[in-house]
A and B are shown apart, each in its own frame.
Chain A
Amino acid sequence: MRYPHRSRMTHTPRFLLLAASLALVMGCRKPEIHSYVAPRDATLDNLAPAPGSEPMPRLTWSLPPGWEETKGGQMSVASFAIDDPNGGASVAITPMPNLAGREDAIVNMWREQVQLGPLSPEEMAKALEPVPVADGEGRIFEIAGSREGKAIRTIAAMLHRGAQSWFFKMSGDDAVATAHKAQFVEFLKSVRFSTGAPAMASSAPAPSAGAAPDAAPAASASPGFKWTVPSAWQVAPIGQMQVAKFSVPAQGEAKADVTVSIFPGDTGGTLANVNRWRRQLSLPETDEAGLAQCTQPLDATPGAVLADLKHENRAMLGAIVPRGGEYFFYKLMGDEAAVTAAREDFLGFVRSAP
């Protein structure tokens, strides 16, 4: 097949134009920043933060003399130590989801911790007194009790503010807490909430004042637990949702681990958690009646339970211990021989203050 030849001069410009166009098309794909005006975004409506999770305000305060700021607890945004010749006391500021209307339950829960019974509505009305906190009015109450034969006192104030309830709690030796009550009340008045992006906050705290760098209940980088860990236990890498993990001494081939998790709630209650543990041992789920068969109260700690589970050479001791508004979940799980051998150490560990 022969093609008739055409003049190159006739077609070259058109051809080059085509080639240039293709090159231009290829060059159009460079990504660049662009801006536009769009209708207000409603896409994330269903992702809106739940009440209590809105950005935390920044806190500032005036520190009374003799108070020393310490590293905040796991749920608290600030804490202080009071050193006194008569003993010691500590103060903590802790935000929680708004608990307005549940003051009675809160007071009674704290009373339980010092082995006091619940108050009647009339007694509760008297116990909860108004107190100025920051720019609002909170409620203050006192609980005097004993722990290990020692007189202790808790003076706590709560302020419901927006999506949060703020708890200011001074607790310690009875004499010290009583002596510093006036300072504590002044401290409550000095607290100030400010909003805005923390990084852009322009108001630096005065030298005599303190500030929570950011009032989120995030933990410090260091766990900083005070609990008593048996010397034979080996620290192990923690997993998701765990705060600590240990390997207990092996009994021949039998091995077991201890894990600790802490949550701001009871994560579904004792039955749900025990059933979750039962499933981990391939045991069938139980009901409230069966729960009593496999759990027992843990010493005198109010609300604390110990679950004792065994199945096919595997065993588990699980403890749920409410402490200061948080729930500590302890679990010793592994081969039965190792679990049995570590039982007393485990119980001692659970009882030790974290």
Chain B
Amino acid sequence: MTDRIWRFFTSLRLTVVLLGLGILLVFFGTIAQVHEGLWNAQTRWFRHLIVTRQMGDPWWVPPIFPGGYIIGIFLLLNLVAAHLKRFSLSSKKIGINLTHFGIILLLAGQLVTDMFSRESIMNFREGETRTFSEATREWELVFTRAIDDQRDEVVAIPDALLQDGAELRDAKLPFTVRVKTYWMNSEPSFRAPMQQNGPPLTDQGIARDWDFKMSPEAKGMDDRNNPTALIEIVGAKGEQLGTWVASSWAADSALVAGVKNAYTRSVGKDVAESIASKLTAPQELDVNGQKWHFAMRPERYYKDFSLTLLKTTHDVYPGTDIPKDFRSRVLLKSPGTGESREVDIYMNAPLRFGGLTFYQSTMGKDEVQQDVGRSGLQVVRNPGWLTPYAGCLIVSVGMVWQFLYHLTGFIRKRRAPLAAAAA
């Protein structure tokens, strides 16, 4: 059995089959972007072990097809196994070995990047300090409880667990969260006095003043889903503690500002502010004497250092809207290393600190205080960021070595008859 597995993984036929499947996968995955959008197509075809046919797929989608993970991992195993089987340390093989090692490094690096890299956004306005960045696509339902004047205990439930009917428990929570409905994307509408004809989603919290309904899933790279969950809180003894709405619309300053602006146009500033404030009203549970707030917010990644946005600079070429220079001056404070320094982050000059890279991403004015600058830094964590450079370098060295080795052999062979003739 082991012998057969070994032969399977060291087979060059497997390499050819996998490369062929890889070509087909790239083709399918590229065409699928037309219907599924870039993000969804990439996730479905390249970030899964197996791709299965779904309702609504075009006719050409096969019932089952190996995904990017399985093809990549099998290629990696195939390459490593072939090397283990055929490796020999000689000057003749050094080039080939180096080339193959470089390719292994590229494959492994891509896997590491895909599994462990993370992109997020640190969004703040001038004067604000941030110790966390936020995901651009992933959301979390968080329950927070004050443990002292400065700190909160946080229990975060990733959106991947928020499935209809799911019952979610955590040792820190004195209740169970039952997901009645989860909409990956949603739209809010204000329950204006005397306007609404149907009952609210629930008679608790923000749902008394705001309705939410499901929206089609956002598929574009620049589009974002705004989820809403209808959750039921159940006490430790099974008692019902109410049904609530947790919506991303209530916890994102940009979304709230958008809602406020939309209503300002139709009903004026004061009423719009009143309407928007009913969306952001805190929602609180009082269970066994503990007060828990909850919210649906972008998934957060906390750092052990802080950045304070000191100043934003946004210059454009005179007479145009074309950006000339936009940069953020931040104060970096790291209690762990004792660092406290000011850094300018601008195009092609990111801040690298703590295994993270901070790139200047967005810039504008604060939605609330228009005279205050706001900046968005893209925060990238990629433990495998060096592997493509190292892999390509090693492949290049290996190919050059192999070329030169054969070239010198060829020249030597050509010289030998000439030398013999001269003798």
Contacts from A to B (Cβ < 8 Å): 3-6, 8, 10-12, 14-15, 18-19, 22, 25-26, 28-29, 31-44, 46-50, 52-55, 74-75, 97, 196-200, 213-214, 216-219, 221-223, 225, 238, 240-244, 261-268, 272, 326
Contacts and interface: CB of A to CB of B under 8 A. Distances in A.
Given A31-B160, A49-B281, A221 B198 contact: yes
Contact of B195 (A8, A38, A200, A238): A238
A11 B157 CA distance: 43
19 contacts: A11-B84, A22-B73, A26-B115, A34-B156, A38-B302, A44-B251, A50-B277, A52-B274, A54-B281, A55-B284, A74-B193, A197-B284, A198-B204, A213-B203, A214-B203, A238-B195, A241-B192, A263-B192, A267-B268
Contacts of B9: 15
B169 to A, nearest CB: 8
- Which 6 residue pairs across A and B have the least CB separation, nearest first? A3-B86, A199-B242, A53-B277, A11-B84, A243-B194, A31-B160
A39 B268 contact: no
Interface stretch (B146-154, B336-344, B409-417): B146-154
B69 interface: yes
A36 B154 contact: yes
A37 B151 contact: yes
B73 to A, nearest CB: 5
B146 A40 contact: yes
A53 B274 contact: yes
A274 to B, nearest CB: 14
A97 B278 CA distance: 13
Given A200-B287, A217-B193, A223-B194, A38 B274 contact: no
B208 interface: yes
Contact of B150 (A22, A40, A218): A40
B273 interface: yes
A214 B146 CA distance: 26
Interface residues of B, number: 83
Contacts, number: 209
A6 B280 contact: no
B194 A264 contact: no
B158 A262 contact: no
Contact of A37 (B77, B154, B195): B154
Secondary structure of the A side of the interface?
A: loop
A206 to B, nearest CB: 22
B194 A74 contact: yes
* Interface core residue of A4, A14, A43 (most chain B CB under 10 Å): A43
Given A241-B267, A243-B195, A26 B69 contact: yes
Contacts of A272: 268
Contacts of B200: 218
B170 A218 contact: no
Contact of B286 (A31, A33, A46, A200): A200
Interface of B: 2-3, 6, 9, 49, 69, 73, 76-77, 80-81, 84-88, 111, 115, 128, 131-132, 144, 146-147, 149-158, 160-161, 168, 170, 172, 189-200, 203-204, 208-209, 241-242, 251, 253, 256, 266-268, 270-271, 273-274, 276-278, 280-282, 284-287, 300, 302, 366-369
Given A25-B115, A39-B131, A53-B278, A200 B241 contact: yes
Contacts of B157: 33
Nearest to B92: A1
A45 to B, nearest CB: 9
B241 A199 contact: yes
Given A35-B170, A241-B195, A25 B111 contact: yes
A290 to B, nearest CB: 21
Contacts of A31: 158, 160-161
A218 B73 contact: no
Given A38-B302, A243-B192, A264-B274, A197 B285 contact: yes
A268 B77 CA distance: 70
Nearest to B267: A267
